[in-house]
Amino acid sequence: MQLIHRISEMREWIKTERYKGNKIGLVPTMGYLHEGHLSLVEKARKQNQAVVMSIFVNPLQFGPQEDYQSYPRDLQKDCDSAEKAGVDVVFNPSVEEMYLRYPPYTTVCIEEITKYLCGKSRPGHFQGVATVVSKLFNIVQPDRAYFGQKDYQQLIVIKTLVEDLNIPVAIEGVPIKREKDGLAVSSRNVYLSGEEREQAVCLYEALMLCQDLYMRGERGREKLIQAMKERILQESKATIDYVEVCDTRTLVPVSKINTPAVAALAVKIGNTRLIDNVILGGDKNAEEDA
């Protein structure tokens, strides 16, 4: 496996792979790899002859009071994990390499679907995501790129970006990886204390309660949201950012579920903000066709 830091070197590597006729899969990450990231690599490995993983903690998607400086980083461990998983190249540029000037003069702004969920509570976040992903697509020029369903809104944002700008990349969604007790794996889980880790399972349990109510015939948004909030607020360390039920494609909140919906939530456990979601109705992996 190669570790590349420069855009020019990355492009040369891509040129060689293209000359061989190889399909290229891209797995964009911010590093501190976990099983969720490795499940993206597993799918990419099956569908492509060459797999590139980017590791770049993108400052443009962090707000002024967010955890950019303290975001967990361990490049050597990440490279070891990536190599074992079958990654061919880790692309790890510096901020100066990725952004000629910072903040950049040119950014990519996604409207409408960023009004809700994390877009509402984290202004500018998805502008940063769309900008850095656009840059990665231009640098790597992959055939396919892989994103997890845990960041459901991000998945929809990237699919919209590709559709609206006619970017020739197939976006592949990959189901959420979970711990044994249901907590979605996340790089930020490392922030949790022992007590907080125990309480963090309330996100998953709230979503399972919502799903159970849905399966038993409940279709009203307010009742589903209330049930989820009541479960979460049983925990002393939990503070709700949002709990919502939205259309799977537009992310517009629905009053009553008549078509597939996503129950999504963001909760702070202590000082750690966690997100999770579950699809209600239709195919469990409906996000792949969103």
Residues 81 and 213 in one domain: no
| Domain endpoint, select from 147, 174, 201 | 174
Three-state SS annotation for the chain:
CEEECCHHHHHHHHHHHHHCCCCEEEEEECCCCCHHHHHHHHHHHHHCCEEEEEECCCHHHCCCCCCCCCCCCCHHHHHHHHHHHCCCEEECCCHHHHCCCCCCCCCCCCCCCCCCHHHHHCCCHHHHHHHHHHHHHHHHCCCEEEEEHHHHHHHHHHHHHHHHCCCCCEEEEECCCECCCCCECCHHHHHCCHHHHHHHCHHHHHHHHHHHHHHCCCCEHHHHHHHHHHHHCCCCCEEEEEEEEEECCCCCECCECCCCEEEEEEEEECCEEEEEEEEECCCCCHHHHC
Instruction: State the amino acid at position 234 in one-letter form.
Output: Q
Residues 153 and 239 in one domain: no
| Domain endpoint, select from 119, 139, 174 | 174
Residues 112 and 194 in one domain: no
Q: What is the pLDDT of residue 290?
A: 42
Dihedral sign from CA coordinates of 161, 163, 168, 169:
positive
Q: Is residue 87 part of a domain?
A: yes
Joined tokens for residue 275: 């997100």
Active-site residue 37, yes or no?
yes
Q: Is residue 6 part of a domain?
A: yes
Q: What is the pLDDT of residue 65?
A: 86
Per-residue pLDDT for the chain (290 aa), expressed as one digit of tens each? 999 999 999 999 999 999 999 999 999 999 999 999 999 999 999 999 999 999 999 999 999 989 999 999 999 999 999 999 999 999 999 999 999 999 999 999 999 999 999 999 999 999 999 999 999 999 999 999 999 999 999 999 999 999 999 999 999 999 999 999 999 999 999 999 999 999 999 999 999 999 999 999 999 999 999 999 999 999 999 999 999 999 999 999 999 999 999 999 999 999 999 999 999 996 544 444 44
Domain that holds residue 253: 187-279
CATH number at residue 193: 3.30.1300.10
Q: What is the pLDDT of residue 284?
A: 46
Q: Is residue 290 part of a domain?
A: no
Residues 168 and 45 in one domain: yes
Q: Is residue 8 part of a domain?
A: yes
Q: Is residue 289 part of a domain?
A: no
In angstroms, the CA 99 to CA 131 distance is: 10
In total, how many domains does the chain have? Answer: 2
Residues 250 and 148 in one domain: no
Residues 9 and 78 in one domain: yes
Residues 113 and 252 in one domain: no
Residues 101 and 220 in one domain: no
Q: Is residue 57 part of a domain?
A: yes
Active-site residue identified among 5, 34, 37, 125: 37
Q: Is residue 193 part of a domain?
A: yes
Total residues found in the chain within this entry: 290
Instruction: State the amino acid at position 284 in one-letter form.
Output: K
| Domain endpoint, select from 174, 208, 242 | 174
Q: What is the pLDDT of residue 282?
A: 67
